């Protein structure tokens, strides 16, 4: 048995480290946290200095047993979880759970920013101990989130609907999205006009210039009358170039990636969600099989540090000289300054081996891994390359009281764009170099254009992360979780890659700011993040933060009047109840929003509803069928139940006749039953045969009653892929129809 035991979080990480640790070392994976606060209760003794009551994850019992056996036989134990708060907490939990097996043994804490031979060897040779302030910071965050979830979420259940939850940081993200939506709804577009002129001299290349000044002041044209007045004035004026400015402008590369900027660029360039970006980055960090061994390709991906090691910089410079020539290497080493909250122990996200170019290892990577690794590699190499050089020309043309301006840029040297082509750059007009000051120009065409000011744009995932980071909310390890959680809870939806608050999300937002505005705001949440940093740095005690937070929150919770809150939050309509005449209100249930009588439970009128384009609520008429109920003769209707659509009698509850809702396709297996649409317990649609259990046909793709032109199969399935879009495919012969 190996005398040295290294414990990491994941099997992939264990596999990579095993390669570097050498003989005498065994590497085991804990599969993340092995214990946490209980799921069924608060698990925090608020009367006893917020002492947490940790429980073992039942799914980890087998893993813990294996870890205990390995630890009991080893002489030296190395806790090698990730180099952040969460990783430090995992190491501490391991030490606590394995306390008996680790008694009288040497226990080390080792950390590294990259999984390479040099980093692992260095960590083992110079081990440390568990950083308890970092553990306490993680523990404080975990308890804070638990206190919020277990104390405020039940209020949401009472006031709005069951199974809702309020997250300490996620609720602030929801607030930002809802406040942006309010801005958009309240936005009053202002009219303004622009004037452009196409100018030229002789046979030179014409250019388009915009009205810049009118009567010596910045041009502001509020309406068509003013635009026509200016147009009339300049019609017979002589256009003379009054000034030409030429300069060389340089665009320097931006800093190497940190977590937030990687997520933003991966969204902009690759179309990846933050969650997907972090999942792929984790794979690249922990190790990818190259030929016969697993290799960690990037440094730790949860970081807000911009530091680059001297070794990596030397390797990057060498590669630049070899691939692009020495003229592309910047004359000075660029060093980027960290924000004050960043720890210098971390590095920026960079390739561990710059010599491993994306092209050289492409055949070992999945397409997604290759794209993200390429982005990280390109950004790192670009940081030490020469800037982009632009030749800038600005021409000011005078026409009576009007001044027209045009700017143009020409690339002199692509610089770092040779390796990182994803630079956002507006070059403007192409301007002939032979224009001179004093030239009299022909104005071939002068045109006006009506414009309107636009409301602020809705957040994309990348811009929301940027906003959170700029306001000091969240940390590198939490951005992906924040944006994912508000979607999973159905508080927001993504349409055309932009966040829209749902009616449910907007209702939750209104409740939280009405009663807990002091807690769910940007300033307070950012201050709390700073306090958690101070706990990590050992400057303040974590218990003091919790005492203050819990005391203030308890007072606010006690002040909430549930009945009054329900009344204030209820969305009122002008639709009268057919039984008692009271105007119906919107309520929330497990299947979404519905209309209800405010006099419930005395009056139990309920209706499904829909909103038109203007947001006006209408009662949704039931989808009735041409056939009648065989039991009572009343018409049949389509209803939605827990497991999808079904057909029921309109005379319910007096008549309880029901039958499956079918989509007009015969089962391709038994040829007897019909295909019915159903929903799983998780809400996912699937299609099965009404002849179940005799026929167990099932598919996730909707069958369409179209005969396959290749094999005459009676139905084809609806499918979708990013590459092909919507298309239909025959499940029998594979023929595709677009």
Residues classed as catalytic: 300
What interhelical angle do 367-382 and 310-324 show, nearest 10? 90
Return all residues near 489 (Cβ < 8 A) that are at least 6 apart: 164, 165, 170, 505
Q: Which CATH architecture has domain 259-382?
A: Orthogonal Bundle (1.10)
Query: Half-sphere exposure of residue 185, counting CA atoms within 13 Å on the CB side?
Result: 10
Contact in structure between 257 and 379 (CB atoms under 8 Å):
yes
- Region(s) of the chain under CATH 1.10.290.10: 259-382
- Region(s) of the chain under CATH 3.40.50.140: 4-130
Domain 139-187+457-564 CATH assignment equals 3.40.350.10:
no
| pTM assigned to the model | 0.84
CA distances from 698 to 526, 655, 669, 670 (A): 50, 31, 10, 12
The 10 Å Cβ neighbour count of residue 557 is 14
Q: Residue 300 has what pLDDT?
A: 94
- Region(s) of the chain under CATH 1.10.460.10: 139-187+457-564
Q: Residue 342 has what pLDDT?
A: 45
Instruction: Give the CATH number of domain 4-130.
Output: 3.40.50.140
The burial of 399, by beta-carbon neighbours within 10 Å (0-12 exposed, 13-18 middle, 19 or more buried), is given as buried
Mean pLDDT for each 10-residue chunk of the chain (738 residues)?
86 91 91 91 93 92 94 94 93 95 93 92 94 95 93 92 90 97 96 96 94 95 95 92 95 95 95 94 94 90 92 95 95 85 72 96 95 98 97 95 95 96 89 94 91 96 94 90 93 94 94 93 93 92 92 91 88 88 86 85 85 82 82 86 81 85 82 84 81 86 80 79 73 77
- Region(s) of the chain under CATH 2.70.20.10: 191-252+388-452
**Token pair for residue 602?**
């005395």
Q: Residue 724 has what pLDDT?
A: 65
Per DSSP, the three-state class of 700 is coil
User: Which residue has tokens 């044209």?
Assistant: 221
User: Which residue has tokens 């050992």?
Assistant: 538
Return the CATH superfamily for domain 191-252+388-452: Topoisomerase I, domain 3 (2.70.20.10)
- Element housing 28 (H / E): strand 25-29
- Between CA 574 and CA 586 the distance in angstroms is 11
Q: What is the DSSP letter of 674?
A: E
Q: Residue 612 has what pLDDT?
A: 81
Return all residues near 529 (Cβ < 8 A) that are at least 6 apart: 472, 473, 474, 475
């Amino acid at each position: 048995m190996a005398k040295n035991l290294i414990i990491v979080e994941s099997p992939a990480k264990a596999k990579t480290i095993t390669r570097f640790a050498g003989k005498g070392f065994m590497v085991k994976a804990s599969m993340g946290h092995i214990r946490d606060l209980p799921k069924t209760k608060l698990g925090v003794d608020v009367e006893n200095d917020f002492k947490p009551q940790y429980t073992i994850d039942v799914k980890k019992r087998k893993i813990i047993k294996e870890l205990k056996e390995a630890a009991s036989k080893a002489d030296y134990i190395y806790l090698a979880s990730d180099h952040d708060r969460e990783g430090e907490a995992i190491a501490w939990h391991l030490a606590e759970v394995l306390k008996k097996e680790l008694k009288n043994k040497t226990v080390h804490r080792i950390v590294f920013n990259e999984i390479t031979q040099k980093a692992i060897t260095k960590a083992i040779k110079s081990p440390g101990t568990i950083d308890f302030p970092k553990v306490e910071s993680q523990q404080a965050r975990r308890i804070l989130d638990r206190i919020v979830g277990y104390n405020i979420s039940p209020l949401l259940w009472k006031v709005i609907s069951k199974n809702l939850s309020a997250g300490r940081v996620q609720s602030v993200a929801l607030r930002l999205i809802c406040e942006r939506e309010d801005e958009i709804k309240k936005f009053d577009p202002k009219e303004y006009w622009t004037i452009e002129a196409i100018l030229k001299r002789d046979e030179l290349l014409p250019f388009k210039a915009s009205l810049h000044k009118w009567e010596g002041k910045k041009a502001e044209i509020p309406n068509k009358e003013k635009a026509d007045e200016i147009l009339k004035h300049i019609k017979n004026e002589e256009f003379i170039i009054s000034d030409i400015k030429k300069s060389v402008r340089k665009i320097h590369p931006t800093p190497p990636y940190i977590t937030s900027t990687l997520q933003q660029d991966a969204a902009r360039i690759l179309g990846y969600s933050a969650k997907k970006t972090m999942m792929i980055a984790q794979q690249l960090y922990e190790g990818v099989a190259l030929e016969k061994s697993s290799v960690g390709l990037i440094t730790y991906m949860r970081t807000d540090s911009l530091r680059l090691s001297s070794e990596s910089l030397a390797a990057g410079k060498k590669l630049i000289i070899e691939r692009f020539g020495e003229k592309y290497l910047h004359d000075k080493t660029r060093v980027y300054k960290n924000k004050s909250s960043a720890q210098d122990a971390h590095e920026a996200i960079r390739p561990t081996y710059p010599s491993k170019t994306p092209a050289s290892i492409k055949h070992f990577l999945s397409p997604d891994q290759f794209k993200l690794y390429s982005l990280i590699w390109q950004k790192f190499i670009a940081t030490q390359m020469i800037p982009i050089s632009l030749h800038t020309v600005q021409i000011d043309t005078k026409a009576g009281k009007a001044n027209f301006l045009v700017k143009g840029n020409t690339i002199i040297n692509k610089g770092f764009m040779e390796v990182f082509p994803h630079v956002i750059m507006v070059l403007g007009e192409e301007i002939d170099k032979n224009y001179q000051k004093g030239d009299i120009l022909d104005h071939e065409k002068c045109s006006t254009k009506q414009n309107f000011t636009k409301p602020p744009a809705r957040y994309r995932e990348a811009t929301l992360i940027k906003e959170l980071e700029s306001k000091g909310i969240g940390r590198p390890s939490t951005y992906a979780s924040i944006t994912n959680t508000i979607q999973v809870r159905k508080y927001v939806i993504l349409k055309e890659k932009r966040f829209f608050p749902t009616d449910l999300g907007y209702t939750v937002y209104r409740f939280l700011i009405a009663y807990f505005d002091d807690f769910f705001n940007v300033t307070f949440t950012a201050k709390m993040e700073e306090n958690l940093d101070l706990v990590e740095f050992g400057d303040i005690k974590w218990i003091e933060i919790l005492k203050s937070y819990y005391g203030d929150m308890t007072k606010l919770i006690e002040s909430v009047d549930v009945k009054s809150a329900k009344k204030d939050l209820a969305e009122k309509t002008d639709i009268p109840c057919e039984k008692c005449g009271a105007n119906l209100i919107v309520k929330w249930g497990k299947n979404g929003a519905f209309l209800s009588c405010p006099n419930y439970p005395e009056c139990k009128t309920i209706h499904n509803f829909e909103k038109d384009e203007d947001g006006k609520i209408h009662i949704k008429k039931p989808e009735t069928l041409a056939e009648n109920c065989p039991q009572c003769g009343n018409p049949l209707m389509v209803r939605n139940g827990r497991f999808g659509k079904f057909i029921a009698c309109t005379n319910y509850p007096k008549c309880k006749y029901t039958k499956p809702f079918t989509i007009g396709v015969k089962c391709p297996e038994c040829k007897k039953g019909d295909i019915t649409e159903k929903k799983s317990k998780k809400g996912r649609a699937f299609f099965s045969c009404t002849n179940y259990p005799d026929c167990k046909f099932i598919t996730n793709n909707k069958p369409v009653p179209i005969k396959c032109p290749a094999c005459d199969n009676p139905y084809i399935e609806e499918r979708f892929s990013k590459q092909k879009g919507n298309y239909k495919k025959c499940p029998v012969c594979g023929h595709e129809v677009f």
